[in-house]
Amino acid sequence: MPFSIALAGKGGTGKTTIAGMLVKYLVKHGKTPVLAVDADSNANLNEVLGVEVTDTLGNAREDMKKGKVPQGMTKDIFMSMRLEEAIVEHEGFDLVVMGQPEGAGCYCAANTLLTGFLERLTGNYPYIVMDNEAGMEHISRLTTSNVDILLIVSDTSRRGLQAAVRINKLAGELNIGVGKSYLIINQAKETPPPEMLKIASDGGLELIGIVPEDDTVYDYDLQGRPTIEIGEDNPAVRAVYEIFDKVIP
């Protein structure tokens, strides 16, 4: 069974950047191949990882639902082919993008086939990193396998921490079998005051680490450069690596 790590958090907290750094960390430590899954409807994990995406699993699901399966090809073969086409291969990791949520109409058949193929796909990887939106609906559909670690990323604001607590509660309500949830406070100019940290602790969310605000990370993002290329001597990278050392077996 693969060891799966999911990331979630409200927009703007830098969870996708941390997801990319996690992929980099796993590759560096030889825990390969890694399957990176972009399950955020606003998909941009590929930009952090520096790879180009030309297709998504959502596109395959849409095409099947709209009857675009070629004549003489079964739906199973069609979905298998499209899944293979949607995998972006890179050194040490592969990336798949879930794509946009379903539109109107019934997607039951397409989702059933998609889930089955994803379950077979994930069995080929010792580690899975899932970058997720706050709602986490994609995780609940992705696979029946448990999520071993859920890293919830927040900034230092009250709203960010309250959102993190709500996400943790939602994760407990979804049938995704979260093994352990942790809070990462990102983009911190200074250590948050105790009354702010109390919001997380009162909500049953354990703080695993604080990542400092960093101009290099900001500049890479502003310029559209892959943040996975930032050097390991960078303070933010060092901070997230220390967090990963605590939670990744």
pLDDT top residue among 158 and 118: 158
CA distance 247 to 249: 6
Please check whether residue 6 is in contact with residue 170, taking contact to mean a CB–CB distance below 8 angstroms: no
Write down the domain spans for the chain: 3-247
Q: What mean pLDDT is predicted for residues 111-118?
A: 65
Q: Which of 50, 40, 55, 34 is nearest to 9 (CA)?
A: 40
Report CA 78 to chain centroid distance, whole Å.
Answer: 26
pLDDT top residue among 240 and 83: 240
How far from 135 is each of 101, 164, 167, CA to CA, in Å? 12, 11, 7
How confident is residue 115, by pLDDT bands cut at 50, 70 and 90?
A: low
Please check whether residue 221 is in contact with residue 203, taking contact to mean a CB–CB distance below 8 angstroms: no
* pLDDT digit string, tens, across residues 56-111: 888 887 888 788 889 889 888 888 888 888 899 999 999 988 876 666 555 455 55
Q: Which residues lie across from 7 on neighbouring strands?
A: 131, 151
Mean pLDDT of the chain: 87
What are the φ and ψ backbone dihedral angles of 93, each rounded to 5 degrees? -150, 155
CA distance 34 to 89: 10
Please check whether residue 64 is in contact with residue 110, taking contact to mean a CB–CB distance below 8 angstroms: yes
Q: What mean pLDDT is predicted for residues 114-127?
A: 80
* pLDDT digit string, tens, across residues 134-189: 766 656 555 435 789 999 999 999 999 999 999 998 888 877 788 999 999 999 99
CA distance 120 to 249: 23
* pLDDT digit string, tens, across residues 12-22: 899 999 999 99
User: Taking the complete model, does pTM exceed 0.85, yes or no?
Assistant: yes
Residue 196 pLDDT exceeds 70: yes
DSSP 106: -
What does the pLDDT read at residue 33? 96
What does the pLDDT read at residue 137? 61
CATH topology of domain 3-247: Rossmann fold (3.40.50)
